[in-house]
Structure 1
Amino acid sequence: MLKHLKYIDGTSDKFWEIQTEGTMHTVTYGRNEISSQACRRSGSNSIRFW
């Protein structure tokens, strides 16, 4: 499953992309038009990314 979220207002242009495959979760986040970061977790504790 892949979910893409955006937040855009006068000064912000951010995104989050959450992808799940089995027990693996990958979250990519950042600002549009600028570099992004990714966090990958697996297992039952994968809900706590931050």
Structure 2
Amino acid sequence: MSRTFRSLQAAADEAGLSRIYAGVHTRIDHRTGQELGIHVARYSRDG
């Protein structure tokens, strides 16, 4: 089955939340991972 998302952020949210529901990560891990991803994206965009 394929999934579609309105944005990359929506896909990241679902992936992160699924790890919380599976008991692999906590909500703090999810938020921290999102913040890190934002910083990496800005760094790669701005050089």
Same fold (TM over 0.5): no
Q: Which bin holds the TM-score, normalised by the shorter protein?
A: under 0.3
Q: Flag the structure with higher helix content.
A: 2
Q: Scaled by the length of structure 1, what TM-score is found? A: 0.20
Q: Scaled by the length of structure 2, what TM-score is found? A: 0.21
- Which fold has the larger relative contact order, with Cα–Cα distance below 8 Å and residues 6 or more apart in sequence? 1
